Every structure is written in structure tokens, then in C-alpha cells.
Amino acid sequence: MDIYSILASKPHNPHYLIKYITFIKKCQLKNNRPEFLEKHHICPKAKDMFPEYKSFTENEWNKVLLSSREHFIAHLILWKAFPNFNSQLIALNLMKKNKEIKNSKLYQIMRDEYRLMMKNKANEPNFHLKGRNNPCHEKIKNGTHIFLSDDFKKKTSKRMQDNNPMRDLEARKKVSEKLSGKKGRIHTKETKNKISESRIGSKNPNYGKKGCFDHLNNKKIKCPHCKIITTPGNAKRWHLDNCKRKNL
């Protein structure tokens, strides 16, 4: 694949484009590589550049592994090579969003320290990484279905049990008091009977009222188009003027 011809098909600065190609080739030939490497699209994947080469699976030639510093430099040269494309300025700005980062070496140090911190945290108990980055998130494929491994289920169950605030008796008591609204009060059986008797029959404030039976959604409406009988809410959303059978 002639990468230079592809990149040169867009308006560019020839001097910096040659520098970019040379830089990428040198990075590919390096033997001693750092521990942490980042994937870089040689032909940028931005919508105004080469979105058709976005997939590394279909276009493996468009992928190069770079260190954090090399990745920063690559985007810096791309910005100079394609000054008329806003996407390259945006990509560089996202990498340099921390105002303290003034050069590529500082960026490399910051990225390596962050990765080491995350690596150490991953070994701590109850540390939960999201999605595919979760080391415990092993899935077992069986035909069209995907099941979580038993080991992952046990770890998740233990983590949720350990972090459950309701394990604490004081927390349980606070929640119980909040829900009951009777902080520090416990009714005797005699008191409970008196409260019950005071609300029987005509003494009940809801005596003689229809209550919930008079609720709007207890009324029924028949759709004139599909003849389905449903609640006013559903009728307004799916039937009446919005009915699929209206124009049939």
C-alpha cells in the first residue's frame, strides 16, 4: 500500500508530509520498545481525512504502535502537514489538553505514570474496571449466547456483599427509621388496635370515596380505527390519531 500517495491526495505541506512518513518508518524499525504502546492511524481516521481506513482489522497496514511521546510527535507533525484540516488541530489539542504539558517528553512521563497507577490499582481488591478492560470479566461463548464465567460471578457477588451498606446494623436502623417516620417510637399492641379502630368505617377519611378507581388510567377508551380498548395514556400515544390502521 502506497501510504504517501494516499496522504498526498489531500491538500498538504510537502516538507512536513515527508517528515511524517520518515518518522513513522523509523518508529516501525525500532527494536527496543517501551512497555506501554499506543495504536496510531498512519492515515488519520477523521471524517475529513480518511474514515474509510478507520478499521485496523480491515486495514492492518494503517496501524503503527507508538510510545506516548512518539504518538504526540506524530500528531504534531500531522497538524503541520495538514494545516487546513481542523480535525488534526483538534486531535493535537486533545492530547495536549493539560496546560502543564509543554513538550512531548513531559507528555510521555505523565502517560507512563498514569498507566502504572492504573496497573497497580487493578491488582487491588474490589477495584472494578469497566467493560473489556475488566480482568475478571471473562465471558464464555456458547453458540449465539454469552455467559459470564462462574469465577467472575463469585467475585462480583463477594464485591457487592462486602460493599453493601445494609450489612451495617446502624445503617439498617437509620433506613428503617426514615421509612417508618417514627424515630425512636415503638407502638404497643394496644396502641396499634386503637389506631386501627379509629380508622374503621365512617371514621376513615376515605370512607365513601371512589379513591383509586376514579384514576384517569382506570378509564377505558376504544380506538375507532383498530377497535382496541385501552387506557387514555396508551390510546393517546399509540391509537386515535396515531393509530397505524388509521388510513387503512
Residue-level pLDDT at 217 = 60
Give the pLDDT band of residue 19 (cuts 50, 70, 90): very high
The fraction of the chain above a pLDDT of 90, given in percent, is 16
49-71 confidence digits (pLDDT tens): 999 998 888 889 999 999 888 88
Give the bridge partners for 230, in sequence order.
Answer: 221
Say if CB 55 and CB 39 are below 8 A apart. no
Residue-level pLDDT at 13 = 92
Give yes or no for residue 164 having a pLDDT over 90.
no
Residue-level pLDDT at 50 = 92
- What's the rounded mean pLDDT across residues 156-180? 78
More confident residue, 33 or 180: 33
Residue closest to 40 by CA, chosen among 21, 14, 67, 15: 67
Lowest model confidence (mean pLDDT) among 60-69, 114-123, 196-205: 114-123
Q: Sort 112 into a burial class: Cβ within 10 Å, 0-12 / 13-18 / 19+.
A: middle
Give yes or no for residue 181 having a pLDDT over 90.
no
Give the pLDDT band of residue 211 (cuts 50, 70, 90): low
Q: By three-state DSSP, how is residue 124 classified?
A: coil
pTM of the model: 0.46
Task: List, as one string, the DSSP characters of 172-225.
Answer: HHHHHHHHHS-TT----HHHHHHHHHTTSGGGSTTTT--GGGGSGGGS-EE-TT
More confident residue, 187 or 82: 82
Residue-level pLDDT at 140 = 47
Query: Please, what sign has the CA dihedral across residues 162, 165, 170, 172?
Result: negative
Residue 50 is classified by DSSP as: -
Cα–Cα distance measured from residue 140 to residue 148, given in angstroms and rounded to the nearest whole number: 6
